[in-house]
Structure 1
């Protein structure tokens, strides 16, 4: 058994190293992390503009002598300026991160990515004029933005390594020489994307955005947006944690773009007064699928009698109210502790299934997508904010109680063993 666990740990360790060394996955992860604060900032404005109590909305609008609709539109400007161009933000963040990891000119690569992305983005035609439709560079274009950023960096680096560039004398300041040296690489990259745009328009009759969302986006959303898919992803992440590998950093690097696209679809539907389409989104992942390990420390708070666990509850309980689990994971410890393998790996699954069914059966309103709270927001508060309903908080409480009940028998066994050892040592 020990040999099997060691082999499994080694295999997962190699997988983790491969993920952590992969500059493309890390660039996507870091790029999405750079994008995330804007989702929270936008949520603040959308909460104010779409407060769940109508009287509050009317009162706030009256302060500025506006109708409720005008008030909501004014606050929606921040959404249009941030998440409304979400694909553009992700493109800039990923291309800059990847350029830095490749050690090529970050500024010029970022600008080249921007031009290439806009060159391949579909335009709308009106009265013989072409104009950029802002909706084509929103969160729905995240997949295309990531692909463009990666391709631009790869092509740019290849040209740069070949030395195909205008070389300026050493006496020329870098601020002047750098843009000139990027002329040829940038020209080639932009030309490639322009040619690709022409070919798609001429022969395929579909935009790159449509193709990417059909070929790549549809299956990814189907996988990440399904009950089975999210259970498999969460179990895999928790399995990595068991073997001492930061599961969230690996899983989130792949899944966050998918969850963000699903979140944006919910937000757009909510703003348009339509039915929210997706049960699973970033809000579901952060606010409901994450309820699992918290049960361990609060099981300890309830039943611990050993000195070790009594000390643990003083250290780890408060941080976990804000979803900071490292003191619990390392302090109990849960990693590589076979006694806790089952609840560590599978307790989140219970929260996922219960929450999914509650949303599916319309017992709780679906997360609107209007609000994306920081991951440190305590449960109950986050449940109310993302669903706009007290029933969201109640659902989180039910999941919390269930995972605590799951953890209690495992904690009790381990706590008794530690208690006996402490008594034995004390009595000599």
Structure 2
């Protein structure tokens, strides 16, 4: 007789299939790896922006006195790093994603990168002044991330199609690869560039509109609207946690899709902050990293506070310290939380509580929205990250409120599990 599968078995099998599909999708994997390569520059730029706009009374005067430079001189000097990194974020993503996609497709990486770069530049509107032709950096920054992803994929797909058809200049086998490879790429690159050129001509026919504006209106704006909404971010986080519960790296799966969206929203907040305006978006990369991630930490704090079993007493010695830096693997595997039905509800919903509380606090103005100036690493301890991302002590206070809320959610479930473990330990000692 065939054994009937439980609901959790069926759910696990379904999620494993989804994870397998995502992990085998070369486009999602290339985007994820490309965005990961981009992230260090976001952190580096944030360091300089934090110093430039450190929210400490008298800091600007102190720096001016030490350096002998007016604030109008040293602040723009610090912002140069941001202009040269996040200010060219779209271009960095283009180079990184096209590189990873070419590797996934087993194509000539350098030639695909260069083809994608030329195609991207063909779609970027040029301006002409008395000084000559120029390109506005706004077309190369984080707002162009969606366009860069499209250009990376289109260049690689067209290049692969022509290359696999064998339509290329073939050099004799005696010619060194370093010499033959560029010649073999001429026709695939030419066809790809013609495609981009034709797109540019079509776009120019629409009253001089830009590819960036058109693409963001058609696809970028809807994606940002969904990913930047409260229901959207709740669904994404719950799905990530559900994957984690069954031992699948949930963040790795969802970040490949969501990081470009969060980065664009983050860039809009940064631009507004630098212009002295109120950031427009509640949800952005900083919100995702510093507020939506507060959830599982409640389990280890609850264990530290109320657990009496020997297993949990020993486990918290190992798991508590790493979680200061948001490293949750010791907690996930030590309790364990994965595949533990007792903890299913708080595992899925504790992060949702943090998201709702944080969103409400930002929406009613109790806490200033994330400025976008500081994109701190995910390992930044709570309270510190809250202060830096909002330029306000209220950001840290909000994280503390979320922390208390998730601990309260976890406490009754930890108590039930701890009592069960105490009974098991008592049986073992008989």
1:191 is aligned, of 171, 191, 194, to: 194
Alignment of 1:285-300 (within 5 A): 285-300=288-303
**Structure 2 CA distance, aligned partners of 1:269 and 1:321?**
31
Deviations 1:252-305 (A, max 9, x none): 111000000000000000001011101111000000000000001111111111
Alignment of 1:79-228 (within 5 A): 79-127=82-130, 129-203=132-206, 205-228=208-231
1:229 is aligned, of 224, 229, 232, to: 232
**Structure 2 CA distance, aligned partners of 1:62 and 1:111?**
47
**Structure 1 CA distance, aligned partners of 2:206 and 2:286?**
40
Partner of 1:5: 8
Partner SS for 1:188: helix
Deviations 1:380-425 (A, max 9, x none): 1101111111111111111111101110100000000011110111
Deviations 1:17-55 (A, max 9, x none): 000110100000000000000000000100111111242
1:416 is aligned, of 400, 414, 419, to: 419
Give the unaligned 5+ runs of structure 2.
none
Please report how far the alpha carbon of residue 56 of structure 1 lies from its aligned counterpart in structure 2 after TM superposition.
1.3
Please report how far the alpha carbon of residue 165 of structure 1 lies from its aligned counterpart in structure 2 after TM superposition.
1.2
Q: Single out whichever of 324-333 and 79-88 deviates more from structure 2.
A: 324-333
1:278 is aligned, of 264, 271, 281, to: 281
Partner SS for 2:58: helix
Normalising by structure 1, we get a TM-score of 0.97
Alignment of 1:280-359 (within 5 A): 280-359=283-362
2:76 is aligned, of 73, 76, 84, to: 73
Please report how far the alpha carbon of residue 109 of structure 1 lies from its aligned counterpart in structure 2 after TM superposition.
0.6
**Does 2:25 align with 1:22?**
yes
**Structure 2 CA distance, aligned partners of 1:395 and 1:193?**
47
Aligned alpha-carbon RMSD (Å): 1.3
Deviations 1:138-163 (A, max 9, x none): 10000000011011001101111111
**Does 2:364 align with 1:364?**
no
Give the unaligned 5+ runs of structure 1.
none
Please report how far the alpha carbon of residue 177 of structure 1 lies from its aligned counterpart in structure 2 after TM superposition.
1.4
* 1:72–1:128 Cα change, 3 Å: closer
2:37 is aligned, of 34, 37, 42, to: 34
Please report how far the alpha carbon of residue 316 of structure 1 lies from its aligned counterpart in structure 2 after TM superposition.
0.8
Normalising by structure 2, we get a TM-score of 0.97
**Structure 1 CA distance, aligned partners of 2:257 and 2:25?**
12
**Structure 2 CA distance, aligned partners of 1:420 and 1:189?**
68
**Structure 2 CA distance, aligned partners of 1:252 and 1:105?**
27
1:378 is aligned, of 375, 378, 381, to: 381
Please report how far the alpha carbon of residue 126 of structure 1 lies from its aligned counterpart in structure 2 after TM superposition.
3.1
Partner SS for 2:134: strand
**Structure 1 CA distance, aligned partners of 2:131 and 2:358?**
50
Q: Single out whichever of 51-60 and 275-284 deviates more from structure 2.
A: 51-60
